[in-house]
Amino acid sequence: MKKVLIVIVIGALLAGAAMGGYHLWKQSRITIWSFVPDNSILVFEPNDFTYLWRTDDKRKIVKNLKSLPELDSVQQVISRLDSATNHQFSKVVDQGHLLISFHQNTNESLAALYILEVQELQQHSLLSELQQYLKDSLLFERKERNYQDYIVTEFKKGKTTLTYIFHKNYLIASFSPFLVEDAIRMIADSRVNTYQETERRVAKVAQGNSGAGRCYINTNYLNKLAGIFADPVQIDTTPLKWLTHLMYLDLNIENDKIHLSGFAVNDTSKINYLSAFDGIRGVGFDMKNIVPASTSYVLHASVEDVSQWHVGLKNYWRKHEPAQLTQIGELENRFDFNIRDFYEFMANEVGYFVLESSRSFHSDLIFCIEHKSQELASQFFESLAQKANVDSALYLEQYADRQIKHINIDEIPSRLFGSMYSGFPSAYYFIDGSYVYFGNSQQVLEILIDDIDNENTWRRSVRTNAFLESTHEDGNFSMFVKSSGALNLVGKVLNDNWAEYLEENKTILSQIEYGAVQFTHVDGEYYTSLLLQHPGDLIKQIKPQSFEIQKLQGFANNLISKPFAVRNHNDRTLEMMVQDEAFTLHLLDVNLKPVRQIPLKGKLKSKIYQVDYYKNGKLQYLFALDKTIHMIDRNGTYIPGYPLTLKSDNKIRELSLIDYDKSRNYRIMVADSKGNYYLYNKAGKLLDGWNPKKMGSSPATLGRHVRVQKNDYMLLVQQNGIFQNLTRRGDVRDGFPIDLKGKISQDYFISKGSKPANTEISALTDLGELVSFNLAGVVTNRGQLVRENDQASFHLVNSGTEKEFIVIKKNENELTVFNEALVEQFKVEINAKKLIFQYYYFGIDNQLIIVIDQEKRLGYLYNQDGRLLHESPLEVGHELAVLFQESKGQFDLYCSIGNQLNIVSLKK
């Protein structure tokens, strides 16, 4: 019995020693990472925390972004603590090892946990001094409480609570008490978080923490991070948590760039989105050659082996989005879709383009597939269209020598490549060059065709292309963002709090010009890059600028017209045409050097149009005088049959150029002062039904044309407020005419839709009522602006591209500018009676409103927020021609005054 007791005692002692040793062993394994709660979304490990907040000539971007309220508050706190400790606080933080862990808070915000490892006794003493400073100088109330045998200290003042604990050499602090409690539970329960294993792995393969610091992103909670900002009704953030396992990215800051680069860590035991690219090399971003300049962002996939990628996608969908397989199965079963045939012609790139939109939540979308064989691609999609459109004839629309077709199947891009490519209720498409293009409307494909033909693409933009050149060439999966339009799109999916925050800080945030997120498969891992580009200096750009004369050209006679921009078909440079008081028409090259002088017998009565009469790429000029229509080439030689003489005793009031389907089979519409309309073909022959078409009242503006679903609508409005909608043969369409119930003396706006019912026209009466109606003749809205007195006047001003408009109210010495929804944008004071208004839209953040005082011959230029862009007004004689140089951030103004034509530049 005695031996048994001895054995039990010895066993108990050994067990106790083992337990004690285990406890000590556990304690010895504690690192700074042990305190990070396992629900952390992101951990930032700075190299030099205080350096991040310093501003120098090489990092002006820091100075600008510190203007944001939260970052400014951090700077103020650091400054106050430094001041209270004779700059010792920054030294302690920099000499210690700091982690900042970010978590989801309860009120649509982020909460931060600060973990600082301090080694020296002097550092502990300084932290004690800071506690005293909080209590004595800042009047915080100090309390202590016990939580799981840890002493928790809290400093409270009003609604602010700073909570912290000391554990061994670690300070754990937060302004959200629950995070400190989470950290205590981590060490009390010996729990292991996502970051600990990854940090050890990173330490083996990475050469230390480079740059300003390192970010660790737990993508399992990335959807929660996005959910803090996003409106759940507008966007589903769930798929973000399946992107990858974890990312570690080194932060580097230059004068105009913030770059996070590192690797995405894939857990091989799990399937995530990036797994689909395993073992597949990227092949580049050639698609930038056809991305329209107005695109806000692009999702782009680049794969050497598309069939292997698609197998990976199916594995991902099977695990996380099984409904996606049902979508593909429906294609295969209902429409006999053969994925092998698809692979036969598909090449290496797919792209999803979201175009800038200022009007509604529904964006213009383009989906692009690179093909290897135009013949196979054409056969494949035409066969699919036939199977989907069994009850109707195949849709075919000619536009600029392309054939736009339609497939009556919803969400084709999403069905093939995943839910992120959604937004196509049906598919309009055309095939051209190396790509198959899908659009969520016919109109967006027409915009794309025009931009490609006019070389108005990302590749042709000096600034945009320079940014793309700085990105990773062979990314497998990339997102490219052009922030001028993207911020507007982002604002539409944010919840109310963050949408308001975005609006309040838009001036600062919109200075981030471009962004890119890229994942590139490299030796079994994914090189990850997040790049933001900023112009470097914000402060100079918000001050009024001075006009700078770049070039000028004098003439023997005073000029009587505005400058008209025309294209030199030989070298594609931009030239100018202007008329003087001797009625001579001058053609000047890109440097304003005279090219040709063309004597005319009267004053221009229309704008100058360019046409390709012979369809050979050589351009001619079309314009009207009082009673004649002229078409000449750049040598001043008339096209046979021109000039045409109007068969009327009345003078020409308006001339418009119509090209139904961009086939260059032009129609020329002329309206005389009595409201008689004439329609000619390009050879000068009057067409049936228009010889003339009598409207009985003087035209308010030029006649216009819009094509919707292969039907042509000829739109005419008279000063008596009667709006007419005719066929090509001049027959009145059902629902018309519409009586606007008010006189009108200005242009109107056309918002083209996918069908007559959603193609909307907005016309403003002289008394300030904005009337909206569709091509079916249904009035959809009437909005009346307040008219305080009889002197108030109202003006609808189309943009130069006629894709946007504003409304301006003049009342005594005040101008009020409204957007399309008649929401007030800004007010300015101006003391003038006779004013001309112009509006240019070069993007959501590059708008220009021009106000010209005709009596004083002075011009005033405002941006979209009502900020006057210059110090002194511009001397002007007529309306301006305006170009925007994106690479320089400046407007080039072509200004005719007296006997001079000037090119004047103005920074935005």
Q: What is the DSSP string of 562-613?
A: --EEEE-TTT--EEEEEEBTT-EEEEE-TTS-EEEEEE-SS---SPPEEE-T
What pLDDT sits at residue 11?
A: 33
pLDDT band at 828 (very low <50, low <70, confident <90, very high): very high
Q: What are phi and psi of 32, to 5 degrees?
A: -60, -25
Give the whole-angstrom CA distance, residue 141 versus residue 158. Answer: 10
Q: What tokens were used for 811?
A: 């009342």
Alpha helices in 336-373 (DSSP H): 339-345
Say if residue 212's pLDDT is above 60: yes
Say if residue 610's pLDDT is above 70: yes
pLDDT band at 770 (very low <50, low <70, confident <90, very high): very high
How does DSSP assign 3-30, residue by residue?
A: HHHHHHHHHHHHHHHHHHHHHHHHHHT-
Burial of 581 per CB tally in 10 Å (0-12, 13-18, 19+): middle
- CA nearest neighbour of 674 among 703, 655, 695, 644: 695
pLDDT band at 122 (very low <50, low <70, confident <90, very high): low
pLDDT band at 93 (very low <50, low <70, confident <90, very high): confident
pLDDT band at 330 (very low <50, low <70, confident <90, very high): very high
pLDDT band at 53 (very low <50, low <70, confident <90, very high): low
Say if residue 777's pLDDT is above 50: yes
Q: Region 757-770: what's the mean pLDDT? A: 96
Comparing 867 with 93, the larger pLDDT belongs to 867
What pLDDT sits at residue 812?
A: 87
Say if residue 10's pLDDT is above 50: no
Question: The whole model's pTM is what?
Answer: 0.86
Are the C-beta atoms of 575 and 568 separated by less than 8 Å? yes
Give the whole-angstrom CA distance, residue 650 versus residue 794. Answer: 29
What pLDDT sits at residue 795?
A: 97
Say if residue 526's pLDDT is above 70: yes
Are the C-beta atoms of 138 and 130 separated by less than 8 Å? no
Tell me the per-residue pLDDT of 407-419, one tens digit each, with 9 for 90 and over: 999 999 999 999 9
Q: By percentage, how much of the chain surpasses pLDDT 70?
A: 88
Span of 34-38, 615-619, 829-833, 843-847 with lowest mean pLDDT: 843-847
What pLDDT sits at residue 22?
A: 35
Give the whole-angstrom CA distance, residue 202 versus residue 343. Answer: 38
| Mean pLDDT value across the chain | 87
- CA nearest neighbour of 847 among 857, 834, 859, 838: 838
DSSP run (H or E) holding 75: helix 69-84
Are the C-beta atoms of 627 and 645 separated by less than 8 Å? yes
Span of 363-367, 386-390, 541-545 with lowest mean pLDDT: 541-545
Describe the crossing of helices 88-95 and 69-84 by its angle, rounded to 10 degrees: 110
Give the whole-angstrom CA distance, residue 612 versus residue 569. Answer: 10
Specify the long-range contacts of residues 350-353, CB closer than 8 Å, at least 24 apart: 350/300, 350/301, 350/417, 350/421, 351/287, 351/291, 351/298, 351/299, 351/300, 351/301, 352/298, 352/299, 352/300, 352/413, 352/420, 352/421, 353/291, 353/292, 353/295, 353/297, 353/298
Span of 84-98, 295-309, 373-387, 765-779 with lowest mean pLDDT: 84-98
Give the whole-angstrom CA distance, residue 808 versus residue 794. Answer: 6
Q: Region 100-123: what's the mean pLDDT? A: 79
Are the C-beta atoms of 24 and 16 separated by less than 8 Å? no
Tell me the per-residue pLDDT of 439-467, one tens digit each, with 9 for 90 and over: 999 999 999 999 999 899 999 988 899 99
Are the C-beta atoms of 476 and 499 separated by less than 8 Å? no
What pLDDT sits at residue 540?
A: 47
Say if residue 24's pLDDT is above 60: no
Give the whole-angstrom CA distance, residue 587 versus residue 597. Answer: 6
Looking up tokens 């933080």 gives 93
What pLDDT sits at residue 705?
A: 97
Give the whole-angstrom CA distance, residue 283 versus residue 556. Answer: 59
> Which of 227-231, 338-342, 737-741: highest mean pLDDT?
737-741
What is the rounded end-to-end Cα distance, in angstroms, of the chain?
A: 97
The residues, ordered by sequence, that sit 6+ positions from 718 with a Cβ below 8 Å of its Cβ are: 675, 695, 696, 697, 698, 699, 700, 724, 744
